[in-house]
């Protein structure tokens, strides 16, 4: 950022804040309106996402891995319409994932440890959107696109979709790791230290999730009690905590704080 901006930033600041206020009247006092907007968007997006994956597309809780090709065709026939509605919606709304991750990256940039971890988080999560969300969307929509395809190919799309969705581990592990390390080193107390430990649990669940590439049934399969259900519990704790902590972090940042470089 240039010197001139810094000088003008202080002078023209009030105008921008006012226009921001107009955008979002209910921003609490002392909170940056644009940050608050994204902070409110965060749980809203995950709520919509939850509805899409749980109620419409039926990928969570996951369909069984240990079924025949005919059963998989039947799965796509039975949920044909909701899969198409849900995943088409997700195609449009997928960018919300980038927005929520960008918000976390923004808060990480406010930490005393500088930008390196924030960029690591943004990088890991941006890459993760492809195998983690997009591939299952495309696979399931392609399967539903021509239900009369050879059942072996439908089965392939089913496995490819589910394994990429549940089994894309590294991108998220990298993001959780840099988040955990950043919180531990941070002196600005953007997030409390215990949240770093919760992120470490997330890494452990990703490690266990490697087993879903090995087992088609049992506790370590992609719908298994350990590889899936325990991981979902940990993820819910992580996500719930993050929603609350992002609000705290937004409130904690002074509205007059200069923009991040």
Name the one range near other proteins by CB under 8 A: 46-54, 57-65, 70-78, 143-151.
143-151
Over the window 212 to 231, marking each residue x when it contacts other proteins by CB under 8 A and - when it does not, the resulting string is --xx--xxx----xx---x-
For 140, the token pair is 């399931």
Q: Smallest distance from the beta carbon of 134 to other proteins, in angstroms? A: 6
Identify whether the C-beta of residue 131 lies closer than 8 Å to the C-beta of residue 168. Answer: yes
Q: Angle at Cα 166 formed by Cα 162 and Cα 172, nearest 5°? A: 145
Q: Smallest distance from the beta carbon of 252 to other proteins, in angstroms? A: 13
CA separation for the pair 257, 255 (Å, rounded): 6
For 146, the token pair is 């021509």
Burial bucket for residue 70 (CB in 10 Å: 0-12, 13-18, 19+): exposed
Q: Is 171 in the site for other proteins (CB under 8 A)?
A: no
Site for other proteins in 60-89 (CB under 8 A): 84, 87-89
Q: Is 246 in the site for other proteins (CB under 8 A)?
A: no
Q: Is 12 in the site for other proteins (CB under 8 A)?
A: yes
* Rg over CA atoms, the chain: 21
Q: Is 149 in the site for other proteins (CB under 8 A)?
A: yes
Burial bucket for residue 204 (CB in 10 Å: 0-12, 13-18, 19+): middle
Q: Is 198 in the site for other proteins (CB under 8 A)?
A: yes
Q: Is 90 in the site for other proteins (CB under 8 A)?
A: yes
Identify whether the C-beta of residue 210 lies closer than 8 Å to the C-beta of residue 219. Answer: no
CA separation for the pair 2, 246 (Å, rounded): 29
Q: Is 209 in the site for other proteins (CB under 8 A)?
A: no
Q: Is 51 in the site for other proteins (CB under 8 A)?
A: no
Q: Smallest distance from the beta carbon of 260 to other proteins, in angstroms? A: 5
Name the one range near other proteins by CB under 8 A: 52-60, 67-75, 161-169, 206-214.
206-214
Q: Is 116 in the site for other proteins (CB under 8 A)?
A: no
């Amino acid at each position: 950022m240039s010197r001139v901006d810094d000088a003008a930033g202080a002078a023209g600041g009030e105008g921008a804040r006012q226009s921001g206020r107009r955008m979002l009247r209910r921003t609490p006092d002392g909170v940056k309106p644009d940050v608050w907007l994204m902070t409110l968007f965060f749980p809203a997006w995950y709520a919509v996402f939850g509805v899409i994956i749980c109620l419409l597309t039926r990928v969570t809780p996951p369909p069984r891995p240990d079924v025949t090709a005919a059963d998989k065709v039947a799965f796509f026939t039975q949920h044909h319409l909701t899969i198409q509605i849900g995943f088409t919606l997700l195609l449009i709304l997928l960018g919300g994932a980038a927005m929520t991750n960008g918000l976390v990256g923004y808060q990480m940039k406010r930490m005393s440890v500088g930008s390196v971890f924030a960029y690591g988080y943004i990088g890991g999560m941006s890459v993760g959107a492809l195998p983690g969300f997009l591939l299952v969307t495309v696979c399931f929509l392609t399967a539903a696109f021509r239900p009369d395809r050879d059942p072996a190919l439908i089965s392939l799309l089913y496995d490819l979709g589910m394994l990429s969705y549940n089994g894309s581990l590294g991108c998220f592990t990298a993001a959780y790791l840099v988040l955990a390390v950043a919180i531990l080193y941070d002196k600005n107390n953007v997030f409390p230290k215990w949240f770093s430990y919760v992120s470490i649990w997330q890494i452990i669940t990703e490690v266990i999730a490697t087993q879903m590439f090995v087992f088609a049934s049992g506790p370590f399969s992609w719908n298994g009690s350990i590889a899936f259900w325990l991981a979902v519990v940990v993820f819910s704790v992580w996500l719930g905590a993050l929603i609350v902590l992002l609000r705290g972090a937004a409130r904690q940042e002074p509205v007059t704080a200069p923009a991040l470089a």
